């Protein structure tokens, strides 16, 4: 009898097909709607493996129900949706999808920085709404990117990839991290700074930290008060790293110039979200890794991890 793998969101059949010889797949058949909790728990009872998204809470309740479970493959780099300690207590392997999304997420992060700096979304709306009637010297004038200081908080794989892009724009690279990154310093000329010093010096502050107890609301009222009033804040990490009320206040009071956000504390957000209503904010629906090529690679890596563990082999990317 083949092991059972439960997939919590509809994925293309052509990606599953090569793996059907190793496992039977049960799948939530909706692409845009998360699996209801009761369905998730019911499916957990018979699953040997689970392929899940960040929207699914893999907590102790889930793990207690999943008596046959051997592996949880998370389709993301972060895994704050999973109780890793509880999984470890039950000898359940947890895997994620590092590396395959690094460059794509760095592309989006830098694109978000540029779109926020130059008012690309506002300019697009300006044309579409029929407001382009004239020209003036400072019409839709944004901020330069070339030559400005970028401050990267969280110099992991994605942080270094963003730094490489910044180097192409001749941006002095400042960074803060739990440990020094000698390679980035030597190859990119990156300068390590204490967190407070980075906030004071950077023209662009980019958050790429994982969500941990130490980074919960790292960007709070005090942090925004330390930034330049011309600074632009970019968050492509986790929404929980930002005190959204403090950010809203900083934007409304012009303590900082603008913000570009791909993530939020509670997702999805509505058009009535306070940050979505601001003219000096660009809001995206958590699309950091959302290219067709990369999402397929992430799914394949999850499936490779699942089949490896269920065949008794070592997982490729355990957390």
Residues marked active site are found at 238, 267, 286
The closest alpha carbon to 75, from 265, 311, 304, belongs to 304
- CA pair distance 143, 118, nearest whole angstrom: 6
φ/ψ (deg, to 5) at 259: -145, 145
User: Within a 10 A sphere around the Cβ of 47, how many other Cβ atoms?
Assistant: 23
Task: Specify whether the CB–CB gap between 219 and 245 falls below 8 A.
Answer: no
Q: At 282, is the secondary structure helix, strand, or coil?
A: strand
Give the count of alpha carbons within 13 A of 103, CB side only.
4
Helix (H/G/I), strand (E/B), else coil: 266:
coil
State the DSSP H helix or E strand holding residue 124, giving kind and residue range, or none if neither.
helix 120-128
For residue 281, report the phi and psi dihedrals to the nearest 5 degrees: -130, 135
Report the Cα 59 to chain-centroid distance in Å: 21
- Reduced to 3 states (helix: H, G, I; strand: E, B; else coil), residue 25 is strand
């Amino acid at each position: 009898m083949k092991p059972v793998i439960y997939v919590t969101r509809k994925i293309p059949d052509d990606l599953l097909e090569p793996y059907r010889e190793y496992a039977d797949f049960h799948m939530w058949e909706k692409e845009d709607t998360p699996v209801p909790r009761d369905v998730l728990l019911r499916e957990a009872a018979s699953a040997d493996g689970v392929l899940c998204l960040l929207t699914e809470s893999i907590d102790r309740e889930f793990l207690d129900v999943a008596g046959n479970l051997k592996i949880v493959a998370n389709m993301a780099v972060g895994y704050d949706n999973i109780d890793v300690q509880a999984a470890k207590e039950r000898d359940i392997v947890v895997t994620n999808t590092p590396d395959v999304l690094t460059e794509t997420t760095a592309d989006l992060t830098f694109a978000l920085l540029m779109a926020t700096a130059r008012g690309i979304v506002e300019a697009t709306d300006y044309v579409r709404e029929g407001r382009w009637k004239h020209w003036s010297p400072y019409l839709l004038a944004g901020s330069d990117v070339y030559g400005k200081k970028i401050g990267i908080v969280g110099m992991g794989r994605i942080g270094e990839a963003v730094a490489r892009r910044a180097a192409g724009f001749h941006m002095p690279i400042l960074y803060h991290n739990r440990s020094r990154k000698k390679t980035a310093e030597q190859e990119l000329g990156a300068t390590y700074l204490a967190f407070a010093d980075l906030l004071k010096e950077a023209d662009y502050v980019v958050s790429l930290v994982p969500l941990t107890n130490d980074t919960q609301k790292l960007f709070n009222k005090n942090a925004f008060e330390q930034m330049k009033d011309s600074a632009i804040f970019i968050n492509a990490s986790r929404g929980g790293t930002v005190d959204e009320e403090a950010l809203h206040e900083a934007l409304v009071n012009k303590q900082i110039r603008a913000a570009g956000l791909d993530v939020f504390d509670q997702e999805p957000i509505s058009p009535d979200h306070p940050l979505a209503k601001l003219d000096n904010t660009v809001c995206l629906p958590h699309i950091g890794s959302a290219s067709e090529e990369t999402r397929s690679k992430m799914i394949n890596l999850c499936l490779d991890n699942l089949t490896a563990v269920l065949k008794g082999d070592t997982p490729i990317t355990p957390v």
